[in-house]
A = this chain, B = another copy of it.
Amino acid sequence: MASGNWYDSAIEGVLLDITGVLYNSTDEGGVPIPGSIEAVKRLKASGVRVRFCTNETQCTRQQLVDKLQRLGFELSVPEVFAPAPAACQLLKARGLTPHLLVYPGVLPEFEAFDLGAKPTCVVVGDAADIFNYETMNNTFRKLLEMDPPVLISMGVGKYYRHGGELMLDVGPFTKALEYAVRCEAIVVGKPDRNFFLGALQDMGVQPQNAIMVGDDIVNDVGGAQKCGLKGLQVRTGKFRPSDEHHPEVRPDGFVENLAHAVDLLLQHRKK
């Protein structure tokens, strides 16, 4: 069942979340969500502009694109917006040197920085099993040495689905560090306003003519809505039935999956 009347509007651009919308991640790499490879193709062929907005921070954009291409998706690095490049932009603009609490796969994105120098900020990502008492203590102590502590969080997602199980995302660990040193993190990636606006600007579409399709009701759907886009919730990925009665976010629509969303969108455009 779809809900809402989101497809009644003149949509010119679509922002797609990746994990949980295009594919489900697993230890072996990932499995496409049925219909989504074809859905991306049809969307692009229709003339609707498409960008991919992910909070993936376990690998570089190039690695992510390579993986998705191997799975059969048509996309390229310049179409992908991810937090690590956004964090690097911020670091450069402010002249900051980072201490990184990240998954090793994303390190190449930060090669422009001297990681041996005394850090003036901390950048935290979805570090997964790199999150442990030792790395958290080490990062906490780096923050305490700064006055004031500068914490940059690549997304603030609560959890995601991986290999059939829900896994904690970066958000909870960012909240732990915020509490420990009494600071508020600067968020890059979704739901940061600049992140959505950057992707829209890149495809030359105004917020009111764009829609974000995601499985994260707060960071995808709610974040996009705050920027003036419509926000569409898929019932794949980390979706849970309780999202349909979320206390803070009411999506413009719910769809079974990306293929379903594209069906409705393209049917409407043909009329």
Q: Are B179 and A166 in contact (CB under 8 A)?
A: no
Q: Are B129 and A134 in contact (CB under 8 A)?
A: yes
- How far apart are the CA atoms of A182 and B193 in the complex, in Å? 23
CB neighbours (8 Å) of A85 from chain B are none
* Interface 9-residue window, one of A68-76, A92-100, A167-175, A207-215: A167-175
CB neighbours (8 Å) of A176 from chain B are 168, 172-173, 175-176
Taking the complex as formed, is A77 at the interface, i.e. its CB lies under 8 A from any CB of chain B?
no
- Shortest A104–chain B CB gap in Å is 14
CB neighbours (8 Å) of A128 from chain B are 133
Taking the complex as formed, is A260 at the interface, i.e. its CB lies under 8 A from any CB of chain B?
no
Taking the complex as formed, is A10 at the interface, i.e. its CB lies under 8 A from any CB of chain B?
no
- How far apart are the CA atoms of A182 and B168 in the complex, in Å? 13
Taking the complex as formed, is A141 at the interface, i.e. its CB lies under 8 A from any CB of chain B?
yes
Counting chain B CB atoms within 10 Å of each CB, which of A136, A137, A176, A182 scores highest? Answer: A176
Near B by CB (< 8 A), chain A positions 3-18 give none
Number of this chain's copies in the complex: 2
CB neighbours (8 Å) of A49 from chain B are none
How many of chain A's residues have a CB under 8 angstroms from any CB in B? Answer: 30
Q: Are B167 and A171 in contact (CB under 8 A)?
A: no
Task: Please encode chain A, from 132 to 156, with 1 for each CB lying within 8 Å of some chain B CB and 0 for all others.
Answer: 1110110011001000000000000
Q: List 16 A-B contacts (CB under 8 A).
A: A130-B133, A131-B133, A132-B133, A136-B172, A137-B166, A137-B168, A140-B172, A141-B165, A158-B181, A159-B180, A168-B180, A171-B179, A171-B180, A172-B175, A175-B178, A182-B247
Which 9 A-B pairs have CB atoms at the shortest separation, nearest pair first?
A172-B176, A132-B132, A175-B179, A176-B176, A129-B133, A172-B180, A131-B133, A158-B180, A175-B175
